[in-house]
Amino acid sequence: MPSPPFDVRPVVIGVHNHATLGGLKAVIRVDGAVTLAGSSGPLDLFRPTRVELARSVGVKPAFFRDTRLVGTITVRPDSDRSPVVGSVQRVEYILVAPFKRLLFYLSIAVCSIAAVFLLVRVWRRLTTLEYTEISSPRVC
């Protein structure tokens, strides 16, 4: 299950003329318990690119608790000979446990059934009391 997409925009700080970069491109590398959902080729500088994260193959989500995946996204130049330093960003990806949603719906269903049961019982009790008081006269 991929995460919601977000934009990665590689920039070079302090460069006023983009032509001096000479066609420099950037690549994305992801480490940790997350991977890229799609392929990531070389990225153009100063242009946003949409990226989605997914959990790694060996990571299985838990049923009762949220699964928290931590990884790092590194944006660096595509060639090692360029004098540009990449950037590293820590990412947390939380997989929501399906049990929480199931428990929520189950508790709403039980509370609704209990409320209907109590309302019917109170309504029958009120209508039964009124009927018996009116229909049977008191003898003093």
Q: pLDDT, tens digit, for every residue of 76-87? A: 877 776 677 778
Same structural domain, 74 and 121: no
Number of domains in the chain: 2
Chain Cα centroid distance, residue 106: 22
Phi-psi group of 14: left, alpha or beta (phi > 0 → left; psi -120 to 50 → alpha; rest → beta): left
The answer on pLDDT for 102 being more than 80 is yes
Q: Which helix (H) or strand (E) holds 127?
A: helix 98-135
Same structural domain, 52 and 76: yes
The answer on pLDDT for 133 being more than 60 is no
Same structural domain, 27 and 68: yes
Report the range out of 18-22, 33-37, 78-82 with the highest average pLDDT: 33-37
Same structural domain, 132 and 85: no
Chain Cα centroid distance, residue 77: 30
Structural domain span for residue 56: 6-96
Mean pLDDT of the chain: 79
Q: Is residue 1 part of a domain?
A: no
Same structural domain, 29 and 83: yes
Nearest partner of 42 among 26, 57, 30, judged by Cα: 26
DSSP letter assigned to residue 5: P
